[in-house]
Structures are given as C-alpha cells and as structure tokens.
Amino acid sequence: MTVPEDLIADPALLATELRSDIPPTLIDVRWRLAGPPGRDDYAAGHLPGAVFLDLDADLCGPPGDGGRHPLPDPANLQRVLREAGVREGHPVVAYDLGDGLSAARAWWTLRWAGHATVRVLDGGYPAWVAAGLPVTTEVPSPEPGDITVRPGGLPVLDAEAAGRLASEGVLVDVRAAPRYRGEVEPVDPVAGHIPGAVNLPTTDHLEADGRLRAAGAIRSRFAEAGVDEGVRVGAYCGSGITAAHTVLALHLAGRTDAALYVGSWSEWITDPDRPVA
C-alpha cells in the first residue's frame, strides 16, 4: 500500500519553501462552525502571502436540500481560486486554526476540482506561530491564477450511494460517538446515523496538538473499524467538513480511493423516507 507523500506540510519546511523563488500559494481557511468568522483571525495576523478564503461562501455552495455545506458551483469556485492566485500545476498549501478540519475541506475541494498538488499545514496557524515563524497583517494582491476547475478529481457519494456503501462496504460516520448514537444533536433537527455506518471520530486521527498521527497508527485504527484493502470506503459527518478530514487521513493511510458524502447527515435527513438508526 503506497502512502502519498504530498499531503502534509511541516511548518519549518514550508517556511523554507516560502523563501524560494517559486513559493507555494497559501490559502488561509480559518473557520468555526458557530463563528466568529475566520476573517477576523486573518486580519489579526496570517502567514506572509496568504490569501483568506471563506469556507462557507467561497468553497461551498449555499445550504439547502444538498446539506449545510454542499459542493460549490464549479464556475464560482474557479473564479474564487483564480482571484486567490491558484495556478495550474502550482502547489497550494491550506491552513486553519489547527485542528485541520477546514484546511482538509479546502484540500479536498481543490483535489475534487482537479488540482493535484495541495497540502495541509500540519498543526495549522498555531503550529506556525509556535515554531517562531513570521506572521503579518499585510494583505497580498496575488497575480490572478489560471486554474481550470474540472470536477471529479476525487470520488463523491450521493445519498443513495452512501446508503448502499453502508451495507456493501464501510461507511464511516466521523462525528463524536454521542451524535452517532443519537444521544445528542447540537446542529441538525434529527439525531442518529445512517443505518450500517460505523463510528470512527476524526479526532482519533489527531495528536493532542492537532497534528495528524503517523500513517501507521491511522491505518491500524481504520483496520480496527473494518477498513481493509479491497473494501470500498467512504466517510460522512454533519455537513461534509469533518469527513473531509477523515478522507485526508484515509489518503495518508494509503486509501486514495476513499469517497466523501458531501451532503452528509444534513442532507440525509432532508428526506423523511430515508431510514435513521
């Protein structure tokens, strides 16, 4: 099983890359589910050269029947990414508040859009600051990029496919165990999970400082949940943000075929005929 080597950016190594003649494009996607907006964090200080993108408005479609964070319109996404300076074949690094969730969704979205060279800053902005690396409040004006969005770069599940995968493969519910069991539901109007899904919170893949665990440890944890070679696997959460982090972890474990149910639970429950466990 081949482990991809181009998923995670170490802060010190990234700092070296940023001093090169051709630095990677930086995207700041700091975000909180319940606010306040990440743009305030960006204004207070960010990595030199980083452009802020709003996860809700820039990298997702409007909430509705497709869930709280559906796929973006390809034309709108292309415009946003070009304005951020994203170029064909040129590496991108995304970072967030440190847990990797919104950066992983940015990584997933760019990969889905056909941009292959995308990494997540391990530990996010806090790890960069803890390493004593420079920050700025200066807002850059990047040269417009030339990326062409080509949807389909990563596999996607719709509701029907997710329900089928839960019985024919492994569908991982990456939310906290009480939400999976339906004991609490702080966000969506219905509690529970997709019948047949197994629970493996994405926090299981993180060290205490928010960095991803080693690939071997992640692979072992997935194996305990039944994710073996040859078994199809997909992930979902409340609205497709946290599950993108699990897809990133699956890639790190060598499962680059892992699919994301983008609509996730927030879409599943829009149809009362869909079963709830």
pLDDT digits (tens, 9 = 90+) for 41-55: 999 999 999 999 999
For residue 220, the model assigns a pLDDT of 95
CA-CA distance, 99 to 104, in Å (whole number)? 9
Are 218 and 179 in the same domain? yes
Are 126 and 168 in the same domain? no
- Residue that finishes a domain, picked among 80, 113, 130: 130
Told to judge if 60 belongs to the known catalytic residues of this protein, a careful annotator would answer no
- The β-bridge relationship of strands 92-95 and 118-121 is parallel
* Catalytic residue from among 80, 170, 237, 269: 237
Model pTM score? 0.96
Are 106 and 212 in the same domain? no
Are 191 and 230 in the same domain? yes
Task: Give the residue ranges of the chain where pLDDT is below 50.
Answer: 1-3
List the CATH number of the domain containing 31: 3.40.250.10
Q: Which domain holds residue 217?
A: 156-268
Assess if residue 149 is contained within a domain: no
Are 44 and 120 in the same domain? yes
Are 232 and 169 in the same domain? yes
Spell out the long-range contacts of 216-223 with Cβ–Cβ below 8 A and sequence spacing 24 or more.
Answer: 218/249, 218/252, 218/253, 219/1, 219/253, 219/254, 222/249, 222/250, 222/253, 222/255
Are 14 and 124 in the same domain? yes
Beta bridge partners of 261: 157
For residue 2, the model assigns a pLDDT of 43
Assess if residue 91 is contained within a domain: yes
Cβ-based neighbour number of residue 232 at 10 Å: 16
For residue 6, the model assigns a pLDDT of 85
For residue 210, the model assigns a pLDDT of 85
pLDDT digits (tens, 9 = 90+) for 163-196: 999 999 999 999 999 999 999 999 999 999 999 9
For residue 112, the model assigns a pLDDT of 98
pLDDT digits (tens, 9 = 90+) for 136-162: 999 999 999 999 999 999 999 999 999
DSSP label of 233? E
* Sign of the alpha-carbon torsion through 94, 96, 99, 101: negative
Assess if residue 105 is contained within a domain: yes
For residue 4, the model assigns a pLDDT of 55
Max Cα distance, the chain (Å): 56
Assess if residue 139 is contained within a domain: no
Assess if residue 240 is contained within a domain: yes
Assess if residue 148 is contained within a domain: no
For residue 1, the model assigns a pLDDT of 39
The CA-based angle 172-174-177, given to 5 degrees, is: 110
Assess if residue 50 is contained within a domain: yes
Domain count, the chain: 2
- The β-bridge relationship of strands 170-173 and 198-199 is parallel
Assess if residue 116 is contained within a domain: yes
For residue 5, the model assigns a pLDDT of 57
